[in-house]
Every structure is written in C-alpha cells, then in structure tokens.
A and B are shown apart, each in its own frame.
Chain A
Amino acid sequence: MRKISYAAAIAEALRISLTEDPRVSLIGSYVLGLGPKRVLMDPIRADFADRIYDPPISEAAIVAIGAGAAMAGARPFVDIGTGSFAYVGWSPLVNEAAVACHMSNGTLRVPVVYHCLHGLRGGGAAQHSHSPQAMLWNAAGLEIVIPSSPYDVKGLIRSAIKSDNPTMFVNHARLMDIEGDVPEEDYTIPLGRADIKRPGRDVTVIATSYVVHAALAAAATLAGEGIDVEVLDPRSLVPLDKDTILQSVGRTGRLVVADETNESCGIASELSAIVAEHGFKSLRAPILRVARPNIPTPFSQPLEQAITPTAEKIAEAVRRSMAMS
C-alpha cells in the first residue's frame, strides 16, 4: 500500500471533507503545526480559499464561533493550535459546545470539530506542552479523538467531521513526520473502536497518541526478553471501546496504561478505574500507570525527559507487572 506521512494523511482527509460537503470550512488552517510539513496545507488553502478563514489570536472567540456556526448548520473544523491554548477557549468549549445538545433536550446539534496539537514536543515548557484531553474527558458532551497512525488519522478525521457531535480532535506535533500505509481512496474509521497495534499474550499496554510509538518500542525490547506485549490504542476516548480493552486484559491479565496526560485524573487514571471496576477478576497484578507526574512541564531537557512517558519507563512498568504475582 502507499506510504504517506501522518501530516499528509490529515491534509488528505481535510481535502476530501471540504470537497464532499460544502458546509465544511476551516477556521484556522495551520493544522499541521509550524514544522516543515505545514506546506502540505498550501494547496488546500489555494483550492478552498472561500471556506478557509485564518483568525486572529482569539481562541475564546473561535471556539464560540465554531459552536454557534455548527448550531446554525455549518460544519466548521476549528484549529486551536497548541493544546495549551484550548484553555483560553475553555468556557465556550465546556459551557456551550459540550452541553447544547443535552440542554436543548436533543433539539440542537453542534457538529463542530476542534483540533489541537497536544503534548510534550521538546522545550515547550509549562505553557506549550499541555494535554487538555483528560480535563475535556471530565466535561461531558464532547467526543474526543486521539489517533496515532497515518491510517487512523485519515479515517478518524473523516468520521469526526461527519459526526453530529462536538469533537475535540487531539493530534501531536511529533506524529506529523511518521510514515505509514494509507489507502488513496476515501474511508472512515468509526469513533469508539480501539485498535490492537501489536497483539501479545503477556501484558496489555494501553497507550494513546505519540505514546503508542513508545509502547511499540518497549514491546520490541521486551520481546527480546521473552515478554509478549499487546499494545492497544483506544483511538477515541469518547466514545470509548471498553469491550476491546476488557477483552485484551481478559487475555493477558496484566495492564499498564501509558499516556502523556497528568497522573491525577488523567487518561491512565480513568482507564485504570474502568478496568479495575469491570475487569477485576481478570487481573493478576495491580494496574500500573506511566503518566506525566503532576509537575508543570519544565523546559530543560533532562527535566522534561524525567516526566516524559518513554519506552524505557513503559518497559520497566511491564517488567514490574510481570514480576508481581
């Protein structure tokens, strides 16, 4: 199959969506970040100039405008930029977009997609390294999509834009250059379907976004030690594919959750709670988390590395899990 970059897959999905549905528009077109891959958006900007609006630095306004436009029947894809900037638009995100459907007794639809680049990107320090998805998971009413591969991002953007719900689409700057197989034709991946990135017998490692690649690297290392790791990527947090997660842990009996959100009330915490609650009988060892400690992200590389969920930390957690009971 054809191999393209993660960034190219995003651009392709946006082009198909803009072509297919005249209600789709972009508020902010720097979806691929400021790295070298950003030029892949140039032809889209040229071809759909009448439906691409690059806004001022006004996150609160564009989040609200996206919600209002969606209520009015448009299908905007709103780029918030760095994940930390989502906090500037927090109120319209959680007080408007997320609640309108429920608050209107289902009479309103808010088919908006918000997009951001979350996470540890190298020297982003405390204000440019946030992963807002855990806090947003705490706010009911938003779909949250968080892919890790070029194939997944293309199919999931297609589904997110088609969804009638407000969706936070969480990407990562470090994914942009990753290459993978992507069909040229259009396809969708339904939200709420996890993917087993590597089957294994001994331990389940659930990981999201860029950390999926760290988990795969850890699995490769551990294979050399005779430990067979299953790497599971939920691909969306809302809706969440609990069945695939519980079935995997049912087979392996051990779970490590690796994720860039903070340890307290983070993605790893919630996934651990779900498995503890619904899969307790399968567990042969305590669930272990490899998350970001509750420390504002430091700038200096040794400090940033100390809080990053790396392949080494994941491998170490797997070894600990295997050593228990």
Chain B
Amino acid sequence: MTITSLDRRTSLSIFDRMLMMRHFEEAVIRLYKDGRFVSHYHIYIGQEATGGAVLEALGAKDLICTTHRNHGHIIGRGSDPNRAMAEILGRATGFNGGRGGTLHLCDPSLGFLSTSAIVGGCPGLATGAGYGIKVKREPHVSVGFFGDGALEEGLVIECFNIAALWKLPVVYVCENNSPGAMGPQQGGYPTATTATDSFTRLPAAYGIHCMKVDGIDAGAVYAATTEAIERCRAGSGPVFIEAFTTRWPGSSPLWPELATATDLNQAWEPARIAGPHADWLRDHDPLLRAARELATVGHASRDELMARDQTARKRIAAAAEFAIASPMPDSATVAAHVFA
C-alpha cells in the first residue's frame, strides 16, 4: 500500500503529524548538543509513519501508553510541542513540570497514561487500560506502543495471556526497529536478542489476532490499525500489530546523532541524496517516501508539501524558543506531587 491509499485529507493529516515529529526530534538532538539538557534520550526518527498512522486512526477518548521513545507519539497525538520541549529541557512549563523529562513525557488530557521507560512496563499498563475500559463498558480502545525489546520481558507475555483470556480491547503496537541496527557488538545501541524467528508467534500462541506491516507505509499501518480498533470495539479481544522499520542511522550509536537532516526535495530529486546514509534516505525514510507518494499521486503539489514542511519547522522552532526561555522548576517545590 501507500499513504495515498488513503483519502487526501487523511493522508495529509498523517503527513503533518510526521513532519511535526521529525522536526521536533531533529530539534531535540540539536538542543542536546548545545548542552540544554542532561540524560540519555531516544529519538523517534524513522518510525513516523507508524506513529502518525496509528494516532490518526485513534479516537479522542482512546487511551495510549508509550515508552522511552515517546516524543513522536506525544507530538503526533497533537500535544503542545512547547510543553513537550520544555519537559525535555527540564523546565517548569513542561508537561510534567520538569519531573519526568525525555523518558516520561505525558499528556493525560489526550489519553496518555504514565510513560514507562522500564522495558516491558508499557504493555502492562496498556493492558490495564484495556481492562479499565472494559469494566467501565466504554467504547474505547487502549493502544500500547513499544519496541521489539519489550517482548524479551516476561511481564509482556503474561499480559498477552490475560488480555486474550479476558478479551480486553488492547491494540499492541510493536514498533520493530531492530532491522538495520548496529547492536552492541558493533558498539551501537542494544537491539533485540531473541530466539524466535517471528515476534507474532508469541501473542499468536494465545490466540491474539496478529498483523505484520511495513512501518514506513502509513497506508498499511492505518489499515491495520482501523481493523484492530474495529475488532476491539466489537469485543473480539486484543490485536497485535508488528510494524517494521529500518533503524535510523542516528539512533544506532549509544547516543543519538543527527545522522541525516530532513530535506523534502530529496523526495522528488533523488540526485540530492548523498552521503553515508543514502540507502536509508532512499529506501527507509518514511517522510521522504510519504512526500514522494503524495506528490506523485497528486494529493498535494510539491509546493504545498514544502509549505507544510515550513509550517512544522516554524512551529518546532517556536517550541524550542519557548522551552529555552522557560524557567527551571523551583527547587523548593521538590516534594510536591508525591501524593495526590
């Protein structure tokens, strides 16, 4: 499929979400390099078609749980980029008042549960959200975004069993970004270590409906998500979607690097693609792929796509300015919010 399998309005809405995610993450890396925050952090570049399409398919009241690689989901859901960036910079104006930081961005007003950076923590909370929805007899679904590494944790397998037994309305979105990763043996970030040849075998063993999709094909992800949501709302129980993406070269080292910087012109002028990561840009960049498809089919002109790109860039630049100008939290408030 392609993003243009979807109607013009839907495909451009996904594209806008992807642009915001991409420019947000590029800005985060630059801010880190400028020494604007400390801490390890994780970047969503390369997975925007997955998050963008899933979030497009969700309803306003659906619940979402995400992980250490959460920035894209928060921004893609439409949360305020100012407050998201401020949180990453540890500012009082951030979503968590500076208490959460990059690993724990959270916007409950848009249905986000606590963002867990404990591998395997998120699928557990997402299963719990599905249980909450079911016992309250609500028509919503719960979506858990997590990486392939989460399937190494026993808790996740236990949740598959329970979600299947109790027919909970949970959409498990496994964003498999291990393809193309260096892994620790090459000095890169750790990647999945598994004896199974297919992650879908694990939920499938419990009778959970599974789908595998190309994670840079927003049309395919959107179609799978819509089917999953329908199944959940019909009471058929949980669904597992595995979305494959090829690791963005900037997320391969232990610390993110701005390995590529977005230039939408590369979508229709492949001669502009050069450098050590040309293969990734040509074959695996979801944003360039979507731009190319949209322009080719005529859902939008190149000029219109470039204009949308500029709008997103400006919005993110403003978010960075807001975050930098925001005050740090007052250390006298450190004991606030330990209890409700």
Contacts and interface: CB of A to CB of B under 8 A. Distances in A.
Given A125-B101, A125-B103, A300-B90, A57 B331 contact: no
Contacts, number: 113
Give the secondary structure class of B's interface: loop
B118 A85 contact: yes
Interface stretch (A19-27, A95-103, A301-309): A301-309
A294 B117 CA distance: 21
B83 interface: no
Contact of B152 (A56, A85, A302): A56
Interface string B92-103: 101011111111
Nearest to A298: B99
A294 B119 contact: no
B193 A125 contact: no
A122 B40 CA distance: 9
Interface in B52-103: 87, 90-92, 94, 96-103
A307 B335 CA distance: 9
Nearest to B332: A306
Contacts of A302: 90, 328-331
B268 interface: no
Nearest to B89: A300
Given A293-B334, A299-B96, A303-B331, A122 B38 contact: yes
Interface in B164-217: 184, 187, 190, 192-194
Give the secondary structure class of A's interface: loop
A123 B38 contact: yes
A127 interface: yes
Contacts of A306: 331, 334
Contact of B154 (A60, A124, A293): A60
Nearest to A122: B38
Given A34-B254, A123-B101, A56 B334 contact: no
Interface residues of A, number: 34
A297 B236 CA distance: 40
A303 B334 CA distance: 6
A84 interface: yes
Nearest to B38: A123
A127 B116 CA distance: 8
Contact of B329 (A56, A128, A300): A300
A61 B154 CA distance: 8
Interface of B: 37-40, 87, 90-92, 94, 96-104, 116-120, 149-150, 152-155, 184, 187, 190, 192-194, 254, 328-331, 333-335, 338
Given A60-B154, A127-B103, 19 more contacts: A39-B187, A54-B184, A54-B193, A57-B149, A58-B154, A59-B153, A88-B120, A88-B153, A122-B39, A123-B40, A125-B99, A125-B100, A295-B335, A298-B98, A299-B99, A299-B101, A299-B103, A300-B91, A303-B329
